[in-house]
Amino acid sequence: MLNILAQAKRLKQEDVFKSISENVGSSGDPRIFYIVAALGVGFVVLLIVINALKKRQASPRAVNHQGRLLKELAKAVALKKAEVKQLKTMAAEQGCASPLTLVLCPSLLAKGINSKGKSDKRVVMGVARKMGILRKK
């Protein structure tokens, strides 16, 4: 320990500055830094891709779309937009998931016509006549 202190006392300020400038002033090879940085970025990107693949779930693709099916049924029965809108309103009042339920189940449609609600009963009765559920008077 005393030996180190003795050497430190013998050092001059100029020697210390010279040693520092030699060590700091030497230029290293920047290619190594670029390679390490590129590997680090590549590793991070790889982790992100693996994480995204793990989160993705294989779900079956919907073959039938409810809106498209309603649109095709409206064309087949020749329903107007206002009639479809009234059917949607009545379906919401009845607690049905879709107005298609009312079209396919005449008893629910009749129940909706007889109940009180916001839907226009005359329009819905016209739909029932178009479908052949009600007879003209």
Residue 83 confidence (pLDDT) above 90: no
Q: What is the mean pLDDT of residues 46-65?
A: 83
3-class SS letters over the chain: CHHHHHHHHHCCHHHHHHHHHHHHHCCCCHHHHHHHHHHHHHHHHHHHHHHHHHHCCCCCCCCCCHHHHHHHHHHHHCCCHHHHHHHHHHHHHHCCCCHHHHHHCHHHHHHHHHCCCCCCHHHHHHHHHHHCCCCCC
What is the per-residue pLDDT across 8-27, written as a single tens digit (0 to 9) for each? 666 677 777 777 777 776 56
On whether residue 6 sits in a domain, the answer given is no
Show the domain range for 120: 79-131
Residue 31 confidence (pLDDT) above 80: yes
Q: What is the mean pLDDT of residues 70-92?
A: 85
pTM above 0.75, yes or no: no
- For the chain, what is the domain count? 1
On whether residue 127 sits in a domain, the answer given is yes
On whether residue 35 sits in a domain, the answer given is no
